[in-house]
Structure 1
């Protein structure tokens, strides 16, 4: 229940929602681009976008075309900061909500 409360309170905040929308747009751009540039399926393209921008980099997919490699360089430079900011914001929000809840009890 606490998890859902945290998510709903996160979504109520306009700045958090804007960051979520920006993150989704970045992932959609990567997914669509890899789908057309590399010819990957939508799921594989989304998977690669997430794995790349979260800096996990499993190595099971990699761009094979020159255009795909150039796009990846630009995509990482532009997207990694946004994705990491989103992850950091979610973690901070969760921690703040948990601390407020513990103070009440």
Structure 2
């Protein structure tokens, strides 16, 4: 049974301990480090999680990425970001900032 998290545009997310988000030169990618291993992120995933700083809202994150990628289809960016955040939350990588 899968539960879906509703990601609100006003929510602010942060990386959940014990995960550590950083750039890894040896991987040439952003990664999430945790006691049991490492998750190598693709470029877009890295850009999304980089903005999960506890102060940037989901709406702001979407706007920043749309501008950064010079996107003409903001709906596609929004859907991709929301899907990635739902998966990230489900995997326990991020948590809502109170």
Q: For the superposition of Structure 1 and Structure 2, which TM-score range results when normalised by the shorter chain? A: 0.3 to 0.5
Indicate the structure with greater strand content: 2
- TM-score for the superposition, normalised by structure 1: 0.31
Q: Which has the higher contact order (CA 8 A, sep 6+)?
A: 2
Indicate the structure with greater helix content: 1
